[in-house]
Amino acid sequence: MITLYDIRSTRSPTDPRSGYSPFSWRVRFTLRIKGLPYKHHWIEYPDIEGVAKSVGADPTAENPDGSSRYTVPFIHDSTTNKVVSNSFDIVDYLDSTYPDTIKMIPEETRLLQSVFADSVVTLQRYIFPVVANTMVNRTPSLLTPRSLEAMRSRGSVLELTDEQKKEAWAKLKDGMGDFAKLMNNEGPFVMGKKVCMADAALFGTFAALRWLWDETTNEWKDMMSWHGGRWSRLMEAFEGLPEVEKYSEAEGNLKIYGVAMV
């Protein structure tokens, strides 16, 4: 069984919108496309490094002071006893370990998939200040008290004017629009009917935004109408797939945060 380590919030783990890491959503998308069952292990934001080290997950980057940076997602696969971190490497691992499942990174497209996934991160960066601002200031909080405290103390949450927020949304929309134009198909995937890692990256961005601006919000309704409804078709393609996720390890946590749950 595969265990996916991810950051928890006060949304119930059984809520389909639960989970705010766009990178974890890439892996969740992939596992569901592949039909591979897995257990979701939710941890708190300040515990990422400790838990990663305890299971032997490698760091994925460096902090500005040169120390190792540990991030979610990382997985443990009890069948092979392997631990893998970094979303692209996890998807690559799943492709090679489970060759009878849909391949997300066809060998000859490896570089293209990687460069595309990184370019999606550039779009995420446009909207990140608005996300950080909204997630920290929202009442009732979607973040657990410890995660909220950790995010605040990092000092990366800036106050933004309405104008700056509007600009960030416009940049995200324009960037997605450039992709939509170049794809020149109806979707639901980048390559039309054939799914690949690039879709996991796009899906991850929207799924993480849906955590914050759920289906009831104007932001979400607006996004789903962008570019001829292309992104809503991607979301529907995912929702139409059978569930493969188990929430057993989250039940304990659910009780702890039961009161704060929204």
Ligand X SMILES: N[C@@H](CCC(=O)N[C@@H](CS)C(=O)NCC(=O)O)C(=O)O
Positions in the binding site for ligand X (CB under 6 A): 21-23, 48, 60, 71-73, 86-88
Looking at beta carbons only, is 33 or 72 nearer to ligand X?
A: 72
Q: Taking the alpha carbons of 217, 220, 221, 222 in that order, is the dihedral positive or negative? A: positive
Shortest distance in whole angstroms from residue 185 CB to ligand X: 26
Shortest distance in whole angstroms from residue 27 CB to ligand X: 8
Shortest distance in whole angstroms from residue 80 CB to ligand X: 19
Looking at beta carbons only, is 70 or 220 nearer to ligand X?
A: 70
Length of the chain: 262
Shortest distance in whole angstroms from residue 152 CB to ligand X: 14
Alpha helices by DSSP H, listed for 98-160, are 110-137, 145-153
User: What is the spatial distance between Cα 142 and Cα 201, in angstroms, rounded to a whole number?
Assistant: 23
Looking at beta carbons only, is 176 or 208 nearer to ligand X?
A: 208
Looking at beta carbons only, is 187 or 208 nearer to ligand X?
A: 208
| Beta carbons of 136 and 152 less than 8 angstroms apart | yes
CA distances from 66 to 57, 62, 63, 99 (A): 18, 6, 5, 37
Angle among Cα 185, 189, 191 to the nearest 5 degrees reads 65
Shortest distance in whole angstroms from residue 24 CB to ligand X: 7
Residue that is written with structure tokens 């979701």 in the block: 40
State which residue has the least CB distance to ligand X: 71
In the DSSP assignment, the letter for residue 140 is: S
Looking at beta carbons only, is 32 or 230 nearer to ligand X?
A: 32
